[in-house]
Copies of this chain bind each other. A is one copy, B any other.
Amino acid sequence: MPFTYDRTIHFSDTDAAGVVYFANVLSICHESYEALLAFGGMNLKEFFSGRSIAVPIVHASVDFLHPMRCGDVIQVQLKPTEIKASKFRLDYTILLSQKTESNPIAATAHTIHVCIKTDGREKTELPEALKQCLIQAIE
C-alpha cells in the first residue's frame, strides 16, 4: 500500500490560466516525500539543512493528465521503487479526490535522489534511518 498525502489546492499554486502551475505539481509531490519522512520519525529540519550529507534530486519527471484548480482536494500516492546503496526513486500518483470526471488521475511523476557528501559532492551511502523510512513505505 502506497503512502498517501492529502492536500487542498491553494490559490498560490495556480497561475493565470486558472490551473496549478506546472512546476508546482512537483512541489506538491515533494511535500508528500516530506510527510513520509516525518511519518517515519526523521527530523526534517536537520535532514533538509544540507549539512555534511545531502540527498538532492538528480532527476524529476512529471506527466499532466488533468488540470487542478483552487480548492480541489487531491491525494498524492507515494511509492519508493528503487532503493539502492546511495540512490532511490520515488513514484507519485496524484488523484483528484472528487470523482466528478471519469479519469481522476491529475498527474504522475517520479524523482530520483542521490546521497552525497556536501563537501565535494561525492556519492555516499543513504543514512540507515532514511532507508528504513523508504522500505516501510514499500511493504
Check A10–B38 contact: CB distance below 8 A.
no
Closest beta carbon of chain B to A36's beta carbon, Å: 12
What class of interface size applies to chain A in its complex with B? 35 or more
Check B23–A56 contact: CB distance below 8 A.
no
Copies of this chain in the oligomer: 4
A30 neighbours in B (Cβ, 8 Å): 10-12, 22-23
Check B48–A27 contact: CB distance below 8 A.
no
Check B59–A17 contact: CB distance below 8 A.
no
Given contact pairs A14-B15, A23-B24, A48-B71, enumerate 12 new A-B contacts (beta carbons under 8 Å).
A8-B35, A16-B50, A17-B48, A17-B50, A17-B54, A22-B60, A23-B23, A45-B69, A45-B70, A45-B71, A48-B70, A58-B63
